[in-house]
Amino acid sequence: GENKMWGGRFSAGPDAIMEEINASIGFDRKLYAQDIAGSRAHAAMLHKQGILSADDHVAIDQGLVTILGEIEADTFVFSRALEDIHMNIESRLRELIGPAAGRLHTARSRNDQVALDFRLWVRDQCDAIAAQIETLIKTFLTRAEEHADTVMPGFTHLQTAQPVTFGHHCLAYVEMLARDHSRLKDARERMNENPLGAAALAGTGFDIDRHATSTALGFREPTRNSLDTVADRDFALEFLACASICATHLSRLAEEIVIWSTPQFNFVRLSDKFSTGSSIMPQKKNPDAAELVRAKVARINGSLVSLLTVMKGLPLTYSKDMQEDKEVVFDAAETLELALAAMNGMIADMTINKDAMRAAAGSGFSTATDLADWLVREAGMPFRDAHHITGSAVAMAEKQGCDLAELSLEDMQSIDAAITNDVFNVLTVDASVASRTSFGGTAPENVRKQIVYWKERLG
Ligand code: ARG
């Protein structure tokens, strides 16, 4: 049959395929709580402004509360013929309270209504994900504290570069995650403007109070341009951009866990709770959760590109294309939340193999830079010359099949006469990390100071 909501000018109902392509209730039912909160604030404001009688306001408000209960109790019957969450709720309200339900949509359109509902939902996700990020930061701080002195190789090009500490490596992720956190806070602040009252696109002639609904719904202030308000999905795009960057960090971490947990590296052992076995190879312990975190960033990036592509060609203001904004955001949020939870579990539970890390840190002539620095400091040599001489020492050690520290003093002196026995003090991995005291460097004392800094900052 024809549509109860706008059937006035229609003589026939939609084709089944039209209904299928048009309906969003399959996914936007997720916005029910936001839709009801928005409608309650709108009705209260209409009443305060003398647009809605006290009786109608009470009936509408109680009806909306009843509907909220029905949806939460899973007794609400959703109808695809009613297209979306907004029409489903309004239609049920009419069943519950009669024609007064029709007064709720005064000075409102689904265009500002959906902008409101979705913004409220995304705003909540910013908070939820920020809280999860904070949890992961705290987990990293705990691990950093345990391992402020644990020496591991630092890599460039995945080749051994210089010794660092595992604590310092953990704090690198703390920095990344803290930026993710702050990006979400910024995005939340920017999106925290109330779209309700922009109506279809031009505003309304009714004497509404947009500041009142802003306060009721926790917004800083109303949006300033009705056209922009119904056409804008920046808040969703920014959320997806924040999610993509955060997921990228998690994916790099996942990749490190995959590498570290190989028998060849053996730097970490994942707990049984966060690894899987093989159905054929009894010896296997696989880092599936890390691999899935690494893969899931693809969906989140896909969501960002998808919504950017939906928006890029749209003339102002609303077009139905924009209904495609929701599923990608829902999926990205759910995916990121799962990835953060899995990563937190893996990091909290994994065993750090200090011996393997230390052994690897000492291989690959990782303290060659320390030898060059010693020559600059003790022999007054220009760094470029010291670099060259150290290169010869590395070549000699390589030829002898030993470490730099295992070369004899005579060998060292054959390369440069200025070298004394003192040089061996700087060639150990512990001496190397302890010397890196420049601000932001890997020295254990720095790592401890940074942990204090973060703990104070997190409160
Ligand atoms: N279901 C729609 C959406 O998600 C709600 C807005 C519909 N507005 C309209 N003018 N058709 O975007």
Predicted confidence at residue 295, as pLDDT, reads 98
Per-block mean pLDDT, blocks of 10 residues, the chain (459 long): 69 90 97 98 98 98 98 98 97 98 98 98 98 98 98 96 97 98 98 98 98 98 98 98 98 98 96 84 88 97 98 98 98 98 97 97 90 94 95 95 92 93 92 95 98 96
Residue 445 C-alpha from the chain's centroid = 30
Question: Residue 54 Cα, ligand 1 centroid: separation in angstroms?
Answer: 29
CA geometry: angle 419, 425, 428, nearest 5 deg: 120
278 is catalytic: yes
d(CA 60, CA 72): 18
The CB of 214 under 6 Å from ligand 1? The reply is no
Instruction: Enter the tokens of residue 328.
Output: 């990608």
Tell whether ligand 1 has an atom less than 6 A from the beta carbon of residue 117: no
Distance CA 45, CA 211 (A): 10
446 lines ligand 1 (CB under 6 A): no
Token code pair at residue 310: 């939906």
Mutating to test ligand 1, I would choose from 35, 114, 314, 316 the residue with most ligand atoms within 8 A of its C-beta, which is 114
User: So what's the pLDDT on residue 3?
Assistant: 67
Pairing label, strands 159-165, 351-352: unpaired
Alpha helices for 81-225 (secondary structure H): 85-97, 110-146, 166-191, 210-216
CB of 68 sitting under 6 A from ligand 1: no
| Beta strand 193-194 pairing with 151-156 | unpaired
Ligand 1 atom nearest 118 alpha carbon: 4
Spot the catalytic one: 271, 278, 363, 408: 278
Residue whose C-alpha is closest to residue 162's, from 323, 315, 371: 371
DSSP, res 350: P
Distance CA 86, CA 29 (A): 9
Instruction: Please name every residue paired with 153 in a beta bridge, in sequence order, or none if there are none.
Output: 163
In angstroms, the first-to-last Cα distance of the chain is 60
Q: Is 318 in the pocket of ligand 1 (CB under 6 A)?
A: yes
- Locus of tokens 């609400």: 76
Q: What separation in angstroms does the CA of 391 have from each of 149, 342, 423?
A: 28, 44, 15
Whether residue 108 has its Cβ less than 6 Å from ligand 1 = no
DSSP state of 286: B
Cα 114 to ligand 1 centre (Å): 7
Contact 88, 79 (CB under 8 A): yes
List all residues 6 or more positions away from 163 whose beta carbon is below 8 Å from its beta carbon: 151, 152, 153, 154, 361, 362, 366, 367, 429, 432, 433, 442
